[in-house]
Amino acid sequence: MICTLLLICLVPASNPVHRIQDTGREVPTPPSPGEGERPLWGDRRGDGLAVSWVLGPGRQESAQRLRAGQEKIKVRDFDGAIPDFERCLQLQPDEYNACFGLGVCFWEKEEFRKARDQFSKVVQLVEKEKPDAPLPGVHQKLLGCAMLLEDFDAAVAEATRLIQFQPTAEYFYARALARQRKGDLKGTIDDCAGALREDTHLTKARTLRAYAIVAGGDPDAGLAEYAAAVRAKPSDPGGYLGRACALYRLERWAEALDDLKAARKFNRGVSSDLEQQGYIAALTTLVQMRSGRKEAAAEEARSFRAVLKEIGKDPAKNHLLSLPLYLAGEVSEADLIRAAEASPARNAQARCEVLFFIAERKLVEGDKAGARQFFRKSVDTGAQGNLEHDLAQIRLIVLGE
């Protein structure tokens, strides 16, 4: 688990520590078209596209359907908007605004393969009219889809395109994260440096660089980088949580517990992240179990269960919310695995995480054979570049595999 908070219209939240956060997913507001007009839907200045005005009765229905779909998206009626956009495309197959609308609908419904198909069609159709159109908004969505679908080669390509258009800290960070998941530690460190050149206060870039340094075999330098992240923005829980993960990896339980407490303290208020709270509770539970504090470990589950009850959240539908409850014996192993397998995005990562936590619990409880089996399953997901995958490999070596 590495710290992934990507703020460029990318993805729903799901991994607190190197996971793309649910920010920037606002529904695009289409311009108000005049009667019979066919405007480009989106930021015409940023995309560098001219407005295409089409009048005539032959296209009136397609224009009406396009506007109807756009209005439904404004009120988040995505299921209702899809038939309008599909009918528009039946009447006018080259209407890239309808493809973009479909992409937004599928994105919000977390059907990311379908979303990527539609955003790719937008690029193809627009480039027929204007081959040099940069389309940053569309390529941001394509980058998000690639990350969510764990297609990291495509993610690197999309991030590179966006950096060429505008070298922002977020684009460098996105490419760093994709390279981390490909096992390219040097590329990760270089792109984190690029991100920090653009924004010296980007905590997640420092924590990702720190993770890559630790994974590369220099824990002291990595911990120094985590400390720099905390100093740069002491109110950001990401720095503390990233360092807690590194300390857990190094089996420095007391220090890890201190950072987990700090991460919890700063994960509050309107910007709090429930999934991050779940992961903090789960990792805290493991630290308490490894330290022989069974009652303290049980209290973590009780406290987190109370939080979920208060807000009416069902943990069965989210593996990160289920983790602390599983460690306390309140969620079954099978149910935890099902929650991960149902994840609409980053599926390999989700499975890797739960299989690792199952293995850790078995190891703490003295079931070395069972732990070995689940560490192997965690590694076999192929989700390299995450704490759980990397640490599972280390555990297998220690267990003699």
Q: Is residue 27 predicted with pLDDT exceeding 70?
A: no
Could you tell me the CATH number of the domain that includes residue 38? 1.25.40.10
Does the structure show a pLDDT above 60 at 15? no
282 domain-assigned: no
Confidence category of residue 57, pLDDT binned at 50, 70, 90? low
Phi, psi dihedral angles at 270 (to 5 degrees): -65, -25
Is residue 204 in some structural domain?
Answer: no
Spatial contact of 297 and 285, defined as CB atoms under 8 Å apart: yes
Assigned domain for 360 exists: no
Digit-coded pLDDT (tens) for 294-339: 999 999 989 999 999 999 999 998 999 999 999 999 999 999 999 9
- Per-residue tokens: 397: 């070596």
Q: Is residue 57 part of a domain?
A: yes
pLDDT of residue 38: 37
Task: Say if residue 2's pLDDT is above 80.
Answer: no
Alpha carbon 21 to chain centroid, angstroms: 5
> Cα–Cα distance between 163 and 362 in angstroms, integer?
45
In a domain, 359, yes or no: no
Chain CA centroid to CA 222, Å:
23
Least reliable range by pLDDT among 78-82, 112-116, 132-136, 179-183:
132-136
Specify if 371 maps to a domain. Answer: no
Q: What is the pLDDT of residues 250-293, one digit of tens each?
A: 999 999 999 999 999 999 887 889 999 999 999 999 999 999 99
| Residue 3 domain flag | yes
- pLDDT, residue 392, reads 97
> What's the structural domain count of the chain?
1
pLDDT tens digits, 109-152: 999 999 999 999 999 999 998 988 899 999 999 999 999 999 99
The answer to the question of residue 5 being in a domain is yes
Structural domain harbouring 71: 1-166
